[in-house]
Structure 1
């Protein structure tokens, strides 16, 4: 084992331990995917608080830490916090044979991890709106035969039927098309930003009764173009209301009622757990 492989293996062990995932494949996937292959040539710019630090050399040992590495400094796009992504991916529990849609793939690092976790038999479709980043992701993922990069708008483009939708851009509400793309038992994690003061990560699971949701932590991601601004008629939740959300509904299936915690266009959030009886609609 080379020095960098040893460093990467320890980094993967730290990520898996922090994620608390019972799946040993999560650690193996992060140990297998070289982060430096997705960052461009070093030295690299590391985001540190409100400032930036340049790594002292192009030695990849510098980026096997829980640090944000800039991908496009001018646009504020970075490679993401490894501890957070490992936890989110572990929470989604990708399984071999599943179909994943990765929205906001950047240069493809976490796409590659997902591709490893759904192998054999699974596929990952990665959407990236920025043309330069999409081209880099396509090059970076050539070695991953089950990953496809789409340079396009995941808000307006129909998503393929998915067991997992992994969203890395903040939305005021998930577009109805994303919810419809989830297969029965499918899971989605997205950064919910209905207001500047309400930054939450939400886990959605498609059950027989509808879309169960769990706002499980605070989070902030770069805004998702086309889905980050709430409709003028939207019901904007307070932080407390947002945290009480337990299900998501399509207005076409059920009109908002007195359980509504947030309403945005044709999607609304409810405090109702799906095992309870629905309340009377307005």
Structure 2
């Protein structure tokens, strides 16, 4: 193996170990997809703490670590933390034949990983609002026949019916259209940020009883344009209330009850799990 192949192979093992996923394909796709192909030519700018560090050369081995690589430093857009994405993708468990919607795809690196995991037979629709990033994603993903990149606003555009919705921008509350797009058994992960003090990653699963939710870890992403600010009438949860969320309801289906931990215009969160009797 060459030096870069060694670096990519070890990086893939680290990602799979951190994800703790039973799917052996996770390691193989991290090893197969070249991260540098989605970052532009090096040297690269690495986000470290509150500052930035430039790699001393364009050696790709330098970005096969758990580092944030800037895509548009002026706008605070980066390629994402690999450990976090490995954990999220492992938690979602993409399977061959599934339909994925990726919101906030950037230049397409994690889109490519998802596309490989749902092959054969699966497809990925990737939304990116930034025109420059969307153009780069289209070019980077041209060889992936099961990916469609859309330069558009996923908050207002109709989403395809999806088995997986993978959101990489922080929202005050998930738009109702995203929840409605989930197929039976479908899963969505999104960064929930109803307030500065409440940064959670939330997994939503559509069951035969409704939408179960699991705020499973802290996370921070750049805000999602059009969905990052709660309306003035919203009930904003404390961090403790947000952590107790166990189900999500559309207000058109059920009005908030005494179990509500957070209430927004179209959706609300309940501390009651779906296995328990409803009010």
Q: TM-score scaled to structure 2, two decimals? A: 0.99
Tell me the residue number matched to 1:66: 66
Tell me the residue number matched to 1:171: 171
Question: Does 2:249 align with 1:249?
Answer: yes
DSSP 3-state at the match of 1:47? strand
Give the Cα separation in 2 of the matches to 1:51 and 1:111.
27
Give the Cα separation in 2 of the matches to 1:205 and 1:251.
18
Deviations 1:197-248 (A, max 9, x none): 0000000000001000000000000000000000110000000100000000
Tell me the residue number matched to 1:162: 162
DSSP 3-state at the match of 1:227? coil
The alpha-carbon deviation at position 5 of structure 1 amounts to: 1.4
The alpha-carbon deviation at position 2 of structure 1 amounts to: 2.2
Give the Cα separation in 2 of the matches to 1:174 and 1:35.
29
Tell me the residue number matched to 1:150: 150
Tell me the residue number matched to 1:206: 206
Question: Does 2:141 align with 1:141?
Answer: yes
Give the Cα separation in 2 of the matches to 1:54 and 1:266.
44
- Deviating above 2 A after TM superposition, structure 1's stretches of 4 or more consecutive aligned residues are none
Tell me the residue number matched to 2:85: 85
Give the Cα separation in 1 of the matches to 2:11 and 2:163.
28
Give the Cα separation in 1 of the matches to 2:252 and 2:261.
17
The alpha-carbon deviation at position 121 of structure 1 amounts to: 0.3
Tell me the residue number matched to 1:128: 128
Q: Unaligned stretches of 5+ in structure 2?
A: none
Tell me the residue number matched to 1:39: 39
Give the Cα separation in 1 of the matches to 2:137 and 2:167.
16
DSSP 3-state at the match of 1:17? helix
Please, what is the CA RMSD of the aligned residues? 0.5
Tell me the residue number matched to 1:5: 5
Tell me the residue number matched to 1:106: 106
Tell me the residue number matched to 1:21: 21
Q: TM-score scaled to structure 1, two decimals? A: 0.98
Q: Unaligned stretches of 5+ in structure 1?
A: none
